[in-house]
Amino acid sequence: MPDTLTTSHKSNQPEPPSISVLCSEGLLRPIDAANFLSVSKSTIYRLMESGRLAYLRLPAGGNVQDGDPRIPRTALLRFIEDGLARRGPQ
């Protein structure tokens, strides 16, 4: 699988995990990620475009159109954990 994972990476942060590690828990369509977070699909796309939510684009085949984005489940969970960590204890 080509390295098509898209995420922001700053030099002061550790290297991002490999695609196989991120994808080991499965992939979500943007609409599924939106439903999981109870946000709109456009919010998911904004998070993806801003680099706050890692995603990859799948090659065409089967029911997948070329370039369809998918969000690794682990990336979505990491996004939630990061948001909770930023908020701090309540």
Give me the tens of pLDDT residue by residue for the chain, a chain 90 residues long.
Answer: 444 555 544 445 555 556 666 566 789 999 999 999 999 999 999 999 999 999 988 777 766 666 789 999 999 999 999 887 777 665
| pTM > 0.95 | no
The two three-digit tokens of residue 24, written as one number: 């080991």
Query: By C-alpha distance, which of 67, 65, 62 is closest to 48?
Result: 67
- Exposure of 41 in the CB half-sphere (CA atoms within 13 A): 7
